Structure 1
Amino acid sequence: MTSTPPQGPTVVIVDDDPDLRVTLAALLAENGFVPLPVADSAGFFAAANAGPVDLALIDLRLQGESGLTLAIRIRERMGLPIVMLTGRGDETDRVIGLETGADDYITKPFSPRELVARLRAVLRRSGHPALANPDRSQSQIRAFGQLRLDQTRRELLGPDGAEIALTNAEYRLLDYFLRHPDRIIARTDLLRELGSDLSLYMDRTIDVLILRLRRKIEPVPSKPVHLQTRRGLGYIFVTEA
């Protein structure tokens, strides 16, 4: 008897724009996901109660209950991976979202290929069976201390080989530092170099990302060994402690 392959990940799309819901659902279905498009938080919880859900894709600016409020409720009740869709003018809400634990942010307008890749990255980090059991034989690995960054699969690995979950923004920050080790990098360079959506963030976003990244890579985050601050100049990543 042949075994049944794992079903594609189920993604609830929460957006009050009916045209965007249809577009996103078609895109995800074409790429092996099981999309469940809904208009609001009531629709999300109805879908979640009807069967297993693997990820919530939520518009930040929902009418009625905000996307951030819905994300907080999901975190409290379900611990489900969350990806937020944001507009270009939502810098403050991005910071709040980072602090409340959204796994990733995608800025409108977005590339369909990037959206699919980033959803898969979040689901892979969460351990979805259809995306598990990685083959790292062809991966490009950068090591620092007892940790390794798999730049092919976009994963941070601990001393025991287990993945340390990173949001997309945290991964991009760490990847940038590891490509420019032992060099002082100004805050303005980080805002500019980390990508089109991050370049729209406020300075405080970098502070939040640095704090969160240190909690994941430093034995004592308050006394960083690798990701060090150079006051008045920026940051430097020291690969060899």
Structure 2
Amino acid sequence: MAEQQHILVVDDHDEIRDLLGRYLGQHGFQVSLADGGQQMRQVLAGASVDLVILDIMMPEEDGLSLCRYLKDNGGPPVIMLTALGEETDTIVGLEMGADDYISKPFSPRELLARVKAVIRRMSEVRPRQQTASEPEKMRFEGWTLDLNQHQLERQDGLLVPLSTSEFRLLTVFLNHTKKVLSRDQLLDMTKGREALPFDRSIDNQISRLRKKIEEDPKNPRLIKTVWGGGYSFTASVAS
């Protein structure tokens, strides 16, 4: 029998929080509820959590601050709940390492689909037992990507949070350095059957990744755009 996944819903709105808790529970998930940052930390301290659903607009600590806290401390993947028109907050949340977002009002079925997709992607990149021939870390241009801990570390020791999709994309580049990869190839290697026709999410993910690893994201040196071809990762990689 498959292990039950544990979802933590963090929202100060009682009705939304309880509705999501009941709905996810009916679909086979273990669910914990929190009305803000304090309760969220209490749940995380006492149990293993596979995914956090996090509302942006909350009193005291808002969702963006809590997302940063989770990513800085190696927390679970995050789906942000945003209100329509909060485009700036959505972009900031993704740059902080959120794995997906959904705008209110939303259907519980859509949220359930996104939850399953994020957990499925996360399960594919979780640490696995290494063999002698498999590197645990990959190094490039002063950066170190820890494949076990799912962490990107700068030369000065600063940990830079990556979303699940950004981690997958960077890993693909590091395994195919100095090769031109088309958007379709990148989509296939990072999203597989979840990719949609005319999906432009790769461009958005590359833009966010450049902001994290490039000295000058507007004039990228590591992730080059190949006009008419796709993208190429130019750095040498060592394990």
TM-score for the superposition, normalised by structure 2: 0.60
| Residue 224 (structure 1) aligned with residue 212 (structure 2) | no
Q: Is the 8 A contact 1:61 1:86 kept in 2?
A: yes
The alpha-carbon deviation at position 7 of structure 1 amounts to 2.6
The verdict on how the C-alpha distance between 1:125 and 1:66 changes in structure 2, with shifts beyond 3 A counting, is same
The alpha-carbon deviation at position 208 of structure 1 amounts to 5.0
* Structure 1 residue corresponding to 2:76, chosen from 64, 73, 80: 80
Indicate the residue corresponding to 1:49 in structure 2.
45
Mapping 1:208-223, distance limit 5 Å: 208-212=204-208, 221-223=222-224
Q: Is the 8 A contact 1:214 1:224 kept in 2?
A: no
Look up the SS of the partner of 2:193 in the other structure.
Answer: coil
Look up the SS of the partner of 1:22 in the other structure.
Answer: helix
Indicate the residue corresponding to 1:122 in structure 2.
118
| Residue 37 (structure 1) aligned with residue 29 (structure 2) | no
Mapping 1:1-241, distance limit 5 Å: 5-127=1-123, 144=185, 148=189, 151-154=192-195, 175-177=197-199, 208-212=204-208, 221-225=222-226, 228=227, 238=229
User: In the aligned structure 1, how far is the partner of 2:27 from the partner of 2:52?
Assistant: 16
User: In the aligned structure 1, how far is the partner of 2:225 from the partner of 2:33?
Assistant: 43
User: In the aligned structure 2, how far is the partner of 1:210 from the partner of 1:80?
Assistant: 22
Question: What one-letter code is carried by the residue in structure 2 that aligns with 1:176?
Answer: F
Q: Is the 8 A contact 2:223 2:231 kept in 1?
A: no
Look up the SS of the partner of 1:127 in the other structure.
Answer: helix
Moved over 3 A (4+): 145-151, 206-210, 212-215, 237-241
Look up the SS of the partner of 2:224 in the other structure.
Answer: coil
* Percent of residue pairs identical: 34
Q: Is the 8 A contact 2:225 2:231 kept in 1?
A: no
Gaps of 5+ in 1: 130-141, 155-171, 178-189, 195-205, 229-236
The alpha-carbon deviation at position 40 of structure 1 amounts to 0.6
Alignment deviations for residues 166-190 of structure 1 (CA, whole Å, 9 cap, x no partner): xxxxxx6xx525xxxxxxxxxxxx7
The alpha-carbon deviation at position 78 of structure 1 amounts to 2.7
Indicate the residue corresponding to 2:157 in structure 1.
none
Question: What one-letter code is carried by the residue in structure 1 that aligns with 2:50?
Answer: D
Q: Is the 8 A contact 1:143 1:149 kept in 2?
A: no
Look up the SS of the partner of 1:80 in the other structure.
Answer: coil
The alpha-carbon deviation at position 73 of structure 1 amounts to 0.5
User: In the aligned structure 2, how far is the partner of 1:30 from the partner of 1:148?
Assistant: 32
Gaps of 5+ in 2: 126-182, 212-220, 233-239
RMSD: 3.4
Q: Is the 8 A contact 1:144 1:240 kept in 2?
A: no
How many residue pairs align between the two structures? 168
User: In the aligned structure 2, how far is the partner of 1:145 from the partner of 1:87?
Assistant: 30
TM-score for the superposition, normalised by structure 1: 0.60
User: In the aligned structure 2, how far is the partner of 1:90 from the partner of 1:147?
Assistant: 30
The alpha-carbon deviation at position 147 of structure 1 amounts to 5.6
Alignment deviations for residues 41-86 of structure 1 (CA, whole Å, 9 cap, x no partner): 1101111111111111000001110100001001111331011000
The alpha-carbon deviation at position 212 of structure 1 amounts to 3.4
User: In the aligned structure 2, how far is the partner of 1:212 from the partner of 1:240?
Assistant: 14
